[in-house]
Structure 1
Amino acid sequence: MSRLTSTGLTTTGAWMAATAVCLVALGVWADYPELVTLGLAAAGTLLIAALWLLATPKLTVVREIRPRRVFEGDAAHGTLTVTNVGRRRSPPLVVTETLGGDRTTVSVPALAAGGECTVGYPLPVSRRGRYVIPPVRLGHSDPLRLLQRGRATGGELVVHVYPRVHHLAMITFGGSQDAEGHTTSNAPLGGAAFHSLREYVPGDDWRRIHWGATARTGTVMARHVVVPDEPRQLVVLDTGSATYPGTLFEDAVRVAASFCVAAERASMPLHLKTTGGAERESSGTALELLSSVRHDSAERGLAALSELVRDVVTDTQGVALVVVTGRTDAEATRLLMSLRPRFLSLSLAQLVTPDAVAPARPRGVLAVSAASSDMFATSWNRLVLR
């Protein structure tokens, strides 16, 4: 779908219009008809340029952007396929693509009737974010480049630029004493761990019918099998009261994203929460959330941590908690120490400035502080893998 967006003067056209006005005014004031004639000629040239632009080329444009989800520092490319569906030759075009305030301009050559051209161009995806790319803008001008006409075509596209991630080693936990693993009634169905007996319902696998219990009760009974409980990874990102000087919040987001990817790599169920109330339960959706998360100093920060983890430790057993924040104060340290017994492990990632005094390390908490996400990854892996 195409629609007209703007028609206006180019820089050359603006100078031409100003010259026409000045020549006509000066000619009238000085009673100099030759100047008036030159001014009218300039105005007439602009009129011819306007008439030229009335014949808008009939084009179809197909835009593709790949990949639509990319990590910081990786490459993303756009591809435009322009087809001239009109009966006459189309003029050269200038295509403008806008992403996060950055503009990319691509030139498309003149196309004969029925002609097609495919052009590719890089997209600036160096900064984390969720970008809504507006419809592509096609622009063409008259032969003298006095006027230009632009129109938008196509629809909006969304590109997610995920935070850059680092390879992080995961803390290993001992297996359950039960060979099939501990189970709960709200565990996912479809596993191999026996949890209980229940009445048979249509659609159940007949091989799971417990014939002994069926004979005793007179009701067809089936084995209720579930996926055994597994250690879960809970990542909490402080988006509130913690101080993040400079770009340290970006480093904190990268650390949180790295833990999410590491949990997926280790096949651990993941739950990501922010102190602002946002949450996701898979690596892919967590990265989408982290691509657009923002720091808001008006939030409660780690003061909300007890409320954030209450439902997790109540409903699920075996949770490893990771808290990603800035520098912690004495109150936050006491809070972390009080929460420690409720988790398999509690890890604290602190992003602080290089000249900051070493933060307090709560007892029983695996705490690592660093001045960047790269330094954190190095220190964390050295500590966990030693």
Structure 2
Amino acid sequence: MISRSGWGALVATVLLLASWPLLHYPELLGLGVTGAAVLVGGALWMPARPRLQVVRRVEPARVAQDGPARGVLTVTNIGRRRCPPFVAVETVAGERVTVTLPSLAAGATGQVEYPLPTARRGIHPIGPLTVGHSDPLGLFRTGQSYPSTTRMWVYPTPHPMAPLPTGRSPELDGRTSAVAPGGGVAFHSLREYVRGDDLRLVHWPSTARTGTLMIRHNVVPHEPRMLVLLDTSAAPYTEESFEAAVRVAASLAAAAFHGGHPVEVRTTAGARAAAERGVTGQGALLALFAEASLGVPGDRGLAVLPGFGATAEGAALGVVTGSPRQAELAALGPALRRFAVASVALLGPGGGAVLSVPGAFTVAATTSAEFAERWNRTVR
């Protein structure tokens, strides 16, 4: 491929050679022949492409939105002669990133670092890398692709927010559920014996009545669990309000995790992740929010809430959505009764001020920052 400067040299050479028969100036002929020789020399240079080995890594591979991230290219010249300086280009998150690589002697290895754009949330593929090769005068240019690919997770930066409200349990031992951790002192239910159970927990009256060995299922009370549901259906959102909703959902999940609560996050499209402090980290939660997308085919929106299984029973629920129709919110009432406390976040133009959710603590805002301010002021 001829570069812009190469096209200029070609046009000038043609004009010089064409004008000599008319003007008969030896100087014009000399300049034209020199230009032709330079173009031929550049063309002969191009087949001798540098032989390179390219390895890329991203540091860190998971980063908060607008946080610092860098790519590191390690390039080895595996050819038998020195390669000239060259330019590498790749696309990251819709932006072209250009990296200048130094000249390398045969067998030498060089390393170059360059910043990566992190303004857009998502899981961004990086690569393949295209290395531009040109002649010494830059008259010809070509690109060679290297299949060095990787991915970078950019998750929303959580706002400092108070955890979901959990309410107060009227029971002396605290609220219990089938999914609460076992081994506590609070009685939840009777179940059949499983090999390995403590025989001291056998409930003999029920065993005698049913003919089956029955065990007292004791659990740990007073461990409120958090469930954050992000509505990913297309109807309630604009592009801006969806990004605000994702950041609010990530903020609520991070607040629950740092508050020491077991937390589970779901999307209405079916994505799911969970974290428990001291057992698992919040990386899985943030990865879910990094890849959350709007309008996945088959996404039923908030209509999935009544179908949640027993794992949702007794949890503190936080629903994050845009500006759905009032009828959709009103239909959530019966489903919300299964939860200890239900909170609904409404993100969208006008702050969703005219919408209400029966039986739920509701906060509406236009942006994620405005929501965080209202939420903290109201909850605390």
User: Displacement, 1:124?
Assistant: 0.9
Q: Which structure 1 residue ranges, 5 or more long, are not aligned?
A: 1-7
Distance (Å, rounded) in 2 between the aligned partners of 1:363 and 1:222: 39
2:100 maps to what in 1?
107
1:262 maps to what in 2?
255
Give the paired residue count: 363
The alignment status of 1:289 with 2:288, answered yes or no, reads yes
The alignment status of 1:278 with 2:273, answered yes or no, reads no
The alignment status of 1:81 with 2:65, answered yes or no, reads no
User: Displacement, 1:384?
Assistant: 0.9
1:166 maps to what in 2?
159
Distance (Å, rounded) in 2 between the aligned partners of 1:338 and 1:372: 29
Distance (Å, rounded) in 1 between the aligned partners of 2:149 and 2:314: 43
State whether residues 199 and 221 of structure 1, in contact with CA within 8 Å, keep that contact through their aligned partners in structure 2. yes
The alignment status of 1:241 with 2:241, answered yes or no, reads no
Q: Which structure 2 residue ranges, 5 or more long, are not aligned?
A: 275-281
Q: Secondary structure at the match of 2:265?
A: strand
State whether residues 232 and 295 of structure 2, in contact with CA within 8 Å, keep that contact through their aligned partners in structure 1. no
2:125 maps to what in 1?
132
The alignment status of 1:344 with 2:340, answered yes or no, reads yes
Distance (Å, rounded) in 1 between the aligned partners of 2:324 and 2:61: 36
2:368 maps to what in 1?
373
2:277 maps to what in 1?
none
Deviations 1:8-33 (A, max 9, x none): 222211212233344455667x5969
Distance (Å, rounded) in 1 between the aligned partners of 2:328 and 2:177: 34
Q: Secondary structure at the match of 1:82?
A: strand
Distance (Å, rounded) in 1 between the aligned partners of 2:18 and 2:250: 66
State whether residues 272 and 281 of structure 1, in contact with CA within 8 Å, keep that contact through their aligned partners in structure 2. yes
Q: Secondary structure at the match of 1:56?
A: coil
Which 10-residue stretch deviates more, 261-270 or 48-57? Answer: 261-270
Q: Secondary structure at the match of 1:158?
A: strand
Which 10-residue stretch deviates more, 39-48 or 115-124? Answer: 39-48
One-letter amino acid matched to 2:354: P
- 1:379–1:357: structure 2 CA closer, same or farther, 3 Å change rule? closer
1:3 maps to what in 2?
none
User: Displacement, 1:232?
Assistant: 3.7
2:47 pairs with one of 28, 42, 54:
54
- 1:92–1:300: structure 2 CA closer, same or farther, 3 Å change rule? closer
Normalising to structure 2: TM-score of the pair?
0.79
Distance (Å, rounded) in 2 between the aligned partners of 1:61 and 1:197: 60
- 1:279–1:212: structure 2 CA closer, same or farther, 3 Å change rule? closer
Q: Secondary structure at the match of 2:166?
A: coil
Normalising to structure 1: TM-score of the pair?
0.78
The alignment status of 1:317 with 2:313, answered yes or no, reads yes
- 1:44–1:351: structure 2 CA closer, same or farther, 3 Å change rule? same
- 1:291–1:148: structure 2 CA closer, same or farther, 3 Å change rule? same
Distance (Å, rounded) in 1 between the aligned partners of 2:359 and 2:181: 35
User: Displacement, 1:84?
Assistant: 2.3
Distance (Å, rounded) in 2 between the aligned partners of 1:183 and 1:349: 26
- 1:360–1:223: structure 2 CA closer, same or farther, 3 Å change rule? closer
Distance (Å, rounded) in 1 between the aligned partners of 2:327 and 2:194: 53
Q: CA RMSD in A?
A: 3.8
Which 10-residue stretch deviates more, 11-20 or 175-184? Answer: 175-184
Deviations 1:324-357 (A, max 9, x none): 2233443134224444323212212122335x68
Distance (Å, rounded) in 1 between the aligned partners of 2:59 and 2:18: 55
Q: Secondary structure at the match of 2:107?
A: coil
Which 10-residue stretch deviates more, 357-366 or 85-94? Answer: 357-366
Percent identity of equivalent pairs: 34
User: Displacement, 1:121?
Assistant: 1.0
Distance (Å, rounded) in 1 between the aligned partners of 2:297 and 2:51: 52
Distance (Å, rounded) in 2 between the aligned partners of 1:197 and 1:366: 35
State whether residues 54 and 76 of structure 2, in contact with CA within 8 Å, keep that contact through their aligned partners in structure 1. yes
Which 10-residue stretch deviates more, 187-196 or 170-179? Answer: 187-196
State whether residues 199 and 220 of structure 1, in contact with CA within 8 Å, keep that contact through their aligned partners in structure 2. yes
Which 10-residue stretch deviates more, 365-374 or 226-235? Answer: 226-235
User: Displacement, 1:135?
Assistant: 1.8
